[in-house]
């Protein structure tokens, strides 16, 4: 991951910035939740509940425990490397949410278009969770139309 790979902005500060930016754009509710494997940000805006699930790096992963040259980092440096990866992911989430809100404000896309995959449906799943398996099946079992029309089709 390269975005914000050297950021010193804490996870808690980034979470607060996410909360502030969604409030600025009219969010009426905000929630966050975190486990060792993932974090979740949810908010309500434009009569929709939006849910972002952020996979967190595995604290025990080799990339944090071992240097690129193969030497053991030790406990404190391994923790520092893992925390840096967490800060980077949170900054990327902030960038994603802010960019979507800016896009909506600029009229580039509608709110629903910008956040479609993250809209939570009444059954608790997001639109993305409902649709992703169907897209995979469609691509595996159906032929896709050509990207460009054939000769004579544009007359």
pLDDT tens digit sequence for 130-155 = 999 988 888 888 766 677 776 665 55
Task: Please check whether residue 151 lies inside any domain of the structure.
Answer: no
Task: Please check whether residue 147 lies inside any domain of the structure.
Answer: no
Token pair belonging to 13: 């500060």
Banded model confidence at residue 84, pLDDT cuts 50, 70, 90: very high
Task: Please check whether residue 140 lies inside any domain of the structure.
Answer: no
Mean pLDDT on 85-99: 96
* Number of structural domains in the chain: 1
The tens digit of pLDDT for each residue in 31-61 reads 999 999 999 999 999 999 999 999 999 998 9
Task: Please check whether residue 76 lies inside any domain of the structure.
Answer: no
Tell me the residue range of the domain where 107 lies: 11-59+88-130
Percentage of the chain exceeding pLDDT 90: 68
Task: Please check whether residue 2 lies inside any domain of the structure.
Answer: no
Task: Please check whether residue 115 lies inside any domain of the structure.
Answer: yes
**Can you give the pLDDT at residue 142?**
72
**Can you give the pLDDT at residue 1?**
55
**Can you give the pLDDT at residue 151?**
67
Banded model confidence at residue 115, pLDDT cuts 50, 70, 90: very high
**Can you give the pLDDT at residue 154?**
56
**Can you give the pLDDT at residue 54?**
96
Cβ 106 vs Cβ 33: under 8 Å = no
Task: Please check whether residue 114 lies inside any domain of the structure.
Answer: yes
């Amino acid at each position: 991951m390269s975005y914000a790979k050297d950021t010193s902005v804490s996870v808690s500060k980034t979470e607060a910035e996410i909360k502030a930016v969604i409030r600025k754009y009219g969010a009426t509710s905000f929630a966050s939740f975190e486990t060792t494997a993932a974090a979740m940000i949810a908010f309500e805006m434009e009569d929709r509940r939006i849910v972002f699930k952020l996979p967190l790096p595995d604290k025990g992963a080799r990339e944090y425990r071992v240097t690129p040259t193969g030497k053991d980092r030790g406990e404190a440096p391994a923790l520092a490397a893992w925390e840096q990866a967490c800060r980077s992911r949170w900054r990327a989430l902030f960038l994603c949410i802010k960019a979507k809100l800016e896009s909506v404000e600029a009229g580039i896309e509608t709110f629903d278009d910008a956040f479609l995959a993250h809209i939570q449906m009444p059954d608790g799943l997001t639109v993305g969770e409902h649709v992703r398996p169907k897209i995979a099946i469609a691509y595996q079992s159906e032929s896709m139309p050509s990207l460009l029309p054939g000769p004579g089709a544009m007359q």
